[in-house]
Structure 1
Amino acid sequence: MSNQNTVTPGLAIFERLAPLGYPLIRITAGLMLMPHGAQKLFGWFGGYGLEATGQFFEGSLGMSPGILFALLAGLVEFFGGLALVLGLLTRPAALAVTFMLGVALTVHTANGFFWTDGGVEYPLLWALTAFGIFLRGGDRFSLDRRFGLPF
């Protein structure tokens, strides 16, 4: 005889809460990206704003034109993060974040693995998280689902 309920007795609460796990990851990822974009675009949260960030991108990272790359990174982080929070156009936003973090990985590769040394650990974690969100889409608790969008 097959037992359909595979949840350990007493742990049924986890089965009920499990559907909240994915939106928690998607929303948290978006919320954690947005301040980085706000730093680049608006100078908020101790950031330097678009012009100074562009100068850093060009002068220190060799990304020219720096202001364009700073603008693109800021837009992806801020508005892509917002899209993840809302679950609106989730897959395109997550793909843009994945791509942007892939570029960030190239900057951090020379510093090794550990984030404490400026390595790839942190951007790699976020790139993989964004890619996982891309694969799954907005899911149940999203505006994509609410509006019937295929994202």
Structure 2
Amino acid sequence: MKLKTVLLGTTNSLAFLPLRIGVGLVMAGHGAQKLFGWFGGYGLQGTGQFFAENLGLKPGVLMAAFAGGTEFFGGVLLLLGLLTRLAGLSLVGTMLVAIITAHPDAFFASDNGMEYPLTLLLASLTLTIGGAGALSVDRQLVK
């Protein structure tokens, strides 16, 4: 099987479109908070300080750049339906780190638990497995 088909191959179904758009918007927004301080976020310096001091992720600014970059650019790629499997897999890894470092002690979001990042992880995993679907750049590139 060709690498192009593995990375970009997908169905012509619209079933993944709402999931791709929803997760893409959420992840791009989260990344923008970390990187740029948009939408009430703390920006790279503030997020980096939090990562280093509260989560033990050092160097904090570099780790915040990795997390924010993956979330922002991965979210944008999902919105476009471009390299969806790669973007989804990257977001799975980022959400796994979030669960392990920031939300390990509870399940429900009301207790700062893993419920929300786990949902994003599973949605991203679904897109990694299924691809972008119809109305995506991936679909157009493999025609």
Write the deviation string for residues 33-80 of structure 1: whole angstroms up to 9, x where unpaired. Answer: 111100110011111110111010001110011111100111111110
Residue 26 (structure 2) aligned to one of 9, 21, 32:
32
Work out whether 1:124 is the aligned partner of 2:125: no
Question: Does the alignment pair 1:148 with 2:142?
Answer: yes
TM-score (norm 2): 0.87
What's the RMSD between the two structures over aligned residues? 1.2
What are the residue-to-residue correspondences of 1:1-151 with 2, within 5 Å? 19-107=13-101, 108-110=103-105, 112-148=106-142
Unaligned runs of 5+ in 2: 1-12
**Aligned match of 1:7:** none
Q: Which has the higher contact order (CA 8 A, sep 6+)?
A: 2
Q: 1-side partners of 2:128 and 2:30: how far apart?
A: 20
- How far off is 1:104 after superposition? 0.5
SS at match of 1:96: helix
Question: Which amino acid in structure 2 is aligned with residue 39 of structure 1?
Answer: Q
State the partner residue of 2:10. Answer: none
Q: Distance in 1 between matches of 2:134 and 2:43?
A: 36
Does the CA contact (< 8 Å) of 2:14 and 2:133 recur in 1? no
Q: Which structure: larger Rg?
A: 1
CA distance in 2, matches of 1:57, 1:66: 5
**8 Å contact kept, 2:99–2:117:** yes
The answer (yes or no) to whether the contact 2:28–2:76 under 8 Å persists in 1 is: yes
- Check conservation: 2:132, 2:139, Cα contact below 8 A: yes
The TM-score normalised by the length of structure 1 is 0.83
**CA apart distance, 1:21:** 3.1
Q: Distance in 1 between matches of 2:56 and 2:68?
A: 17
